[in-house]
Amino acid sequence: MKRAVLTLILLASSAAAGAQTKLTLPEALERALRVNNTVERSRIEATVADQNRKLLLSSILPQVQFTGSAIRNSTQVAFGTGADAATVLPENDWNYRVVLSQPVYAGLREKRAYDQAKIGTVNARLGVHETEDAILLRVASNYLGVANADANIAIEQRNIGLAEKRRTQSDAFYQAGEVTKVDVLRAETAIKASQRLLATAQQQREAAVSGLREDLDLTGDIAVTPPDNALAPLPDEQMLMTRAESSRPDIAVAQNNIRIAELEVLKQRGGRLPVVTFDAGYIDQKAAFPASRYGYGAFRFSVPIWDSNQVNLRVATAKEREEQAKLLLEDAKTAAHEDVRKAITDLHSADTTLQLAKEQLAAADAEYAQAFELYRAQESTSLDLATSELSLADARRAVASETLNHNLAQLRVWYAAGAIKEAVGVGATQQ
């Protein structure tokens, strides 16, 4: 009985593992934003940054502490006698106190640290945006890779069909004594070559599916629907560069880092200013001296007189960091502009090569049709037919390959401009 149950469980597991998931490109991208662990880690990091902001805010809010003690002394000390006796050191002593502490002024260093933490929270959220964009590009690339592998599998199956058609014709001629066995063997060789390429296409598909499974938290096979290339029309290059400057998370982070560096300079300069705090407390103790119960309130301050030039050195260091941040912003903008230029160049090249591949396919298709009719009429040799067959097969592969390159080039243009979500039509950053 147990063995039968175990067998059923294993069969159910195998069926689940072998289940096929059908996805469209928008469905795959939406799922990636929901379940991808890399995206989720970046969101957790944003939550951590926000908690750090709250922690810094709490450091400038009132703090209340309760402390107490119970003490056994080796002796008891009292002044006076009789009704006038006052114990200053009881043998068994106890006390407790409640103390409120409130920072009043520290050169605005706490406020500037809090402002830095707020910007850090914004940067963490921008990091989520950047991570989501990268995951969307990766998932879209793998999805298109699966679609391209499916197309290549279909192409190789059609190429096998061409070779089998030639083998059938060659075998008929051979049986009739019109050609030698060489023609049949050439067709067999072409079949095996296409079968080998079919196996390669199947392996490439599994590699792309594996990447999708990892990013989408799926098991089993994945069936994809070929995308319809319905991306938004691309603006001109200058508009894309402007969009990149305003939308790319890395540029926004670099701009925010300049503000963080400016606040750091001001924060370090605050080290030259006085520190003022307010304390208030209530004390209850067994000893009656100076009083068994009393409260107090106090303003305390400290003024730096000489610190061996430490504040000046910290300010100088902060200024250098500020200059570094400005240079990093310039680098980020330059990189964004070049990413857009390169992506547009790649897209133009992909447009040209795809159009040429389609024209090549049309010519190769017409050539093959004529070559087969001539071979069937025995007006051309099997070498002529094999050459045209190979040209047609190569043209089919070229169209599939250039279609993939064109689709990826379009996505990379939008990614370089920081607008891939808009291009693929998926949701904004989720928090």
CATH number of the domain at 37, please.
Answer: 1.20.1600.10
Who wins on pLDDT, 87 or 101?
101
pLDDT over threshold 70, residue 142: yes
Residue 81 carries which side chain, given as an amino acid letter? T
Segment 21-35, tens digit of pLDDT: 898 888 999 999 999
Q: Is residue 7 included in any domain, yes or no?
A: no
pLDDT digits (tens, 9 = 90+) for 366-419: 999 999 999 888 888 888 989 999 999 999 999 999 999 999 999 999 999 999
pLDDT of residue 230: 61
Distance CA(212)–CA(139), nearest Å, equals 6
CA torsion, points 172, 173, 176, 177, in degrees to nearest 10? -140
The amino acid sitting at 131 is: T
Name the nearest CA neighbour of 154 among 189, 193, 192, 198.
198
CB atoms within 10 A of CB 67: 11
Checking if the pLDDT of 44 tops 80, the result is yes
Peptide linkage before 62 cis (omega within 30 of 0): no
Over residues 258-273, the pLDDT tens digits come to: 999 999 999 999 999 9
**pLDDT value for 129:** 95
pLDDT of residue 102: 92
Using alpha carbons, list the distances in angstroms from residue 196 to 34, 103, 186, 190, 402: 39, 76, 15, 10, 21
Better-scored residue on pLDDT, 403 or 6 = 403
Q: Which range marks the domain in which residue 230 is found?
A: 23-81+90-423
Is the predicted pLDDT of residue 311 greater than 60, yes or no?
yes
Please check whether residue 363 lies inside any domain of the structure. yes
Average pLDDT over residues 107-130: 94
Tell me which residue of 52, 59, 53 sits closest to 102, measured CA to CA.
59
Domain-embedded: residue 6: no
Residue 9 included in any domain: no
Considering the domain boundaries, does residue 95 fall inside one? yes
**pLDDT value of position 428:** 52
pLDDT above 90: percentage of residues in the chain = 66
The answer to the question of residue 8 being in a domain is no
Share of the chain above pLDDT 70, in %: 94
On whether the CB atoms of residues 144 and 404 are closer than 8 A, the answer is yes
Residue with tokens 């070779």: 163
Asked if 322 and 258 count as a contact pair (C-beta separation under 8 A), the reply is: yes
C-alpha–C-alpha distance, residues 156 and 163, integer Å: 10
Residue 85 CB neighbour total at 10 angstroms: 10
Half-sphere exposure of 224 (CA within 13 A, CB side): 26
DSSP labels for 125-145?
A: HHHHHHHHHHHHHHHHHHHHH
pLDDT exceeds cutoff 50 at 199: yes
Mean pLDDT of 181-194: 90
Q: Choose from 164-168, 240-244, 251-255, 290-294 the range with maximum mean pLDDT.
A: 251-255
pLDDT value, residue 324: 96
Q: Is pLDDT at 361 greater than 60 in this prediction? A: yes
Kindly indicate the confidence band of residue 206, based on its pLDDT and cuts at 50, 70 and 90: very high
pLDDT score of 174: 87
413 closest CA partner among 241, 228, 252: 241
Q: How confident is the model at residue 123 (pLDDT cuts 50, 70, 90)?
A: very high
Phi and psi for 302 in degrees, rounded to 5? Answer: -140, 140
Averaged pLDDT of the chain? 88
Q: List the single range of 20-29, 74-83, 215-224, 280-289 with lowest mean pLDDT.
A: 74-83
Place of tokens 């989501």: 132
* Residue pLDDT, tens place only, 333-351: 999 999 999 999 999 999 9
Q: Please state the domain count of the chain.
A: 1
Domain membership flag for residue 343: yes
Residue 59 forms part of a structural domain: yes
Q: How do 21-23 and 222-224 pair as beta strands?
A: parallel
